[in-house]
Amino acid sequence: MNHHLRYALANARLHPTDLAARLAVDPKTVERWLQGRVPYPRHRWAVADVLQVDEADLWPEVAGYRRTIASEVQAVYPHRHAVPQAAWRQHFTNAAREIDILTYSGLFLAEDTAIMLAIAQRARSGVKVRVLLGDPDSPEVATRGVDEHIGPDVMAARIRNALTLYQPLRDAPGVEVRLHSTVLYNSIYRADDQLLVNTHAYGIPAAQAPVTHLQTGHENGPAGIYLSSFERVWANARPYPSKINTINERG
């Protein structure tokens, strides 16, 4: 029973059927809201406008969840290249339990010796490191290359280059590399409870797409959703061969 909504209706001197008419919904829908069903956002906002109250006054549980989600967002960068390189290094250096990387090539990380050394050092300290790179022979990687207007072979070549550069990291204990063949909607860079999520946009290189810095909080919050996505990709990816030079043997 939503007593907050019932009280607000009474205070506004409106009957449930009046609210239904204002919102152009079935009166039974309003009755279900009064019984405790939470409306879709557009209806919650419309009801709040009609009753001239804040949404939080009518559905405190939704407002609480909204505050939880807002607390997870630490920063939003307009482009990946806008994230200072020092921030990337500090991100991985601060890891105490686990580091997860999901991308196609992540070449910008692999080419940064300081980042590779930092991740390797954290691995030797007991941090679990999981790296997911795109399978250079997969059609998904070729398609991404076409989408970014660099050609299917260039994206695959970047991954092969990254795999070579990851060799020193893979020599560290506790580091596992797998190759995935998924359509990558986001690249994920996790260090314990901190996530840097690089969204992908059609026709836009990843370096020019936004990055959101999230901190894990509510299990159904943004960070939790991305972590769940990582686990699904990890479960279906194949372990990378023990020797980097096997990639050359595959051509």
Q: Please identify which residue in the block is written with the tokens 């479960």.
A: 235
In this predicted structure, the answer to whether residue 251 has a pLDDT above a threshold of 70 is: no
Q: d(Cα 207, Cα 199) in Å, to the nearest integer?
A: 10
| Superfamily name and number for 3-58 | lambda repressor-like DNA-binding domains (1.10.260.40)
Q: d(Cα 122, Cα 62) in Å, to the nearest integer?
A: 39
Q: At 141, list the tokens.
A: 């990687």
Q: Any idea what the Cα angle at residue 141 is, between residues 139 and 146, rounded to 5°?
A: 90
Q: What is the pLDDT of residues 6-22, one digit of tens each?
A: 989 999 999 999 999 99
In this predicted structure, the answer to whether residue 243 has a pLDDT above a threshold of 60 is: no
Q: At 209, list the tokens.
A: 């797409």
What residues pair up with 76 in beta bridges, in sequence order? 212
Q: What percent of the chain has pLDDT over 90?
A: 68
Q: d(Cα 118, Cα 140) in Å, to the nearest integer?
A: 30
**Helix (H) / strand (E) containing 49:** helix 41-51
3-state class percentages of the chain: helix first, strand second, coil last, to nearest 5? 50, 20, 30
Q: At 122, list the tokens.
A: 């954290």
Supply the pLDDT for residue 63: 58
Closest CA to 166 of 183, 154, 179: 179
Supply the pLDDT for residue 138: 95
**Which residues, other chains included, contact 13 with Cβ-Cβ below 8 Å and sequence gap of 6+?**
none
Q: Where are the domains of the chain?
A: 3-58, 73-249
Q: What is the pLDDT of residues 93-118, one digit of tens each?
A: 999 999 999 999 999 999 999 999 99
In this predicted structure, the answer to whether residue 35 has a pLDDT above a threshold of 60 is: yes
Q: What is the pLDDT of residues 60-77, one digit of tens each?
A: 877 555 555 566 888 999
Q: Which CATH class is domain 73-249?
A: alpha beta
Q: At 24, list the tokens.
A: 């152009």
**Helix (H) / strand (E) containing 162:** helix 152-165
* Same CATH fold assignment for domains 3-58 and 73-249: no
